[in-house]
């Protein structure tokens, strides 16, 4: 059983139901039209032509139930992503795309990943611990974070990091297929000086619609992100950090 399947099975409780949920989710996703995706989008809800600095900090608890802050990552090169533990799309994305990135860069002391839950009421430290274990994520360089109050978390993700707006689903069929929250599945890269320097919608680029629009987009996005991470890691650490 691979890590992605482990996550899906663990949090749905019944293997058959989990498989149905994930299968339905991807069937629905394959039928849903999406707009053409640019190669790099520098922000979520608001367009930005250049990087933007992260002005405010976010305190949270990681999968080891340790208090941390995003500012603890200043001086590192890190990816930030939204997720929640029972999101079938996140299970696939985190178990495939993020895991591949993690395996490529986890040995670099200045690389880190931070996944922030958009469902902090449900994603307890115990659940985050099991989720991280299923992915083989070490808290020293891959955090799964619960930032407490949902409204505060959503506001920070949307207004400070500029991810797309988080929406709570109401249709039971949609919830069963896709989870309680619709949220941005892209990855943002943050440099050593606490600036968001790019956004890569890799999960959307792997959809059937995106591949029809641009068959090479998915691989170009991946290649570009890997190249950008390497470039940032090769830069000298900023003096004084």
Closest CA to 201 of 183, 186, 222, 223: 186
Domains and CATH numbers, the chain: 3-234 (3.40.30.10)
Return the axis-axis angle of helices 125-135 and 3-12, rounded to nearest 10°.
Answer: 150
Please report the pLDDT score of residue 96 as a whole number. Answer: 87
Residues 217 and 61 sit within 8 Å (Cβ to Cβ): no
Q: Under 8 Å CB-to-CB from 76, ≥6 apart: which residues?
A: 110, 111, 112, 192
Please report the pLDDT score of residue 23 as a whole number. Answer: 40
Q: What is the pLDDT along the chain (241 residues), one digit of tens a residue?
A: 555 444 444 443 433 333 333 343 333 333 433 333 333 333 334 444 458 999 999 999 999 999 999 999 999 999 999 998 888 787 888 888 999 999 999 999 999 999 999 999 999 989 999 999 999 999 999 999 999 999 999 999 999 999 998 888 888 887 777 777 878 889 999 999 999 999 999 988 888 888 899 999 999 999 999 999 999 999 975 444 4
Please report the pLDDT score of residue 50 as a whole number. Answer: 59
Please report the pLDDT score of residue 51 as a whole number. Answer: 83
Round to whole Å and give the CA distance between 138 and 59. 19
Please report the pLDDT score of residue 9 as a whole number. Answer: 44
Round to whole Å and give the CA distance between 119 and 181. 8
Please report the pLDDT score of residue 219 as a whole number. Answer: 94
Please report the pLDDT score of residue 22 as a whole number. Answer: 34
Please report the pLDDT score of residue 75 as a whole number. Answer: 97
Strands 111-117 and 142-145: parallel
Please report the pLDDT score of residue 2 as a whole number. Answer: 52
Please report the pLDDT score of residue 174 as a whole number. Answer: 76
Strands 52-53 and 195-200: antiparallel
End-to-end CA distance of the chain: 42
* In the chain, alpha helices (H): 3-12, 15-31, 88-93, 99-105, 125-135, 150-155, 172-178, 202-205, 208-213, 217-234
């Amino acid at each position: 059983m691979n890590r992605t399947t482990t996550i899906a099975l663990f949090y749905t409780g019944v293997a058959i139901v989990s498989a149905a949920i994930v299968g339905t989710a991807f069937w629905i996703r394959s039928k849903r039209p999406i707009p053409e995706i640019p190669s790099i989008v520098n922000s979520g809800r608001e367009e930005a032509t250049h990087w933007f600095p992260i002005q405010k900090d976010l305190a949270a608890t990681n999968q080891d139930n340790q208090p941390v802050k995003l500012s603890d990552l200043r001086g590192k090169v890190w990816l930030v992503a939204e997720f929640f533990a029972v999101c079938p799309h996140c299970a696939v994305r985190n178990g495939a795309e993020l895991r591949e990135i993690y395996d490529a860069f986890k040995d670099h002391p200045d690389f880190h990943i931070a996944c922030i839950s958009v469902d902090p009421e449900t994603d307890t430290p115990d659940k985050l611990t099991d989720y991280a274990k299923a992915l083989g994520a070490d808290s020293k360089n891959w955090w799964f974070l619960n930032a407490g109050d949902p409204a505060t978390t959503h506001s920070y993700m949307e207004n400070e990091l500029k991810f797309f707006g988080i929406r709570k689903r109401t249709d039971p069929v949609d919830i069963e297929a896709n989870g309680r929250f619709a949220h941005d599945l892209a990855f943002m890269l943050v440099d050593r000086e606490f600036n968001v320097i790019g956004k890569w919608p890799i999960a959307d680029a792997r959809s059937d619609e995106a591949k029809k629009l641009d068959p090479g987009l998915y691989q170009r996005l991946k290649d570009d992100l890997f190249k950008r991470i390497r470039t940032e890691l090769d830069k000298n650490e900023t003096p004084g950090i």
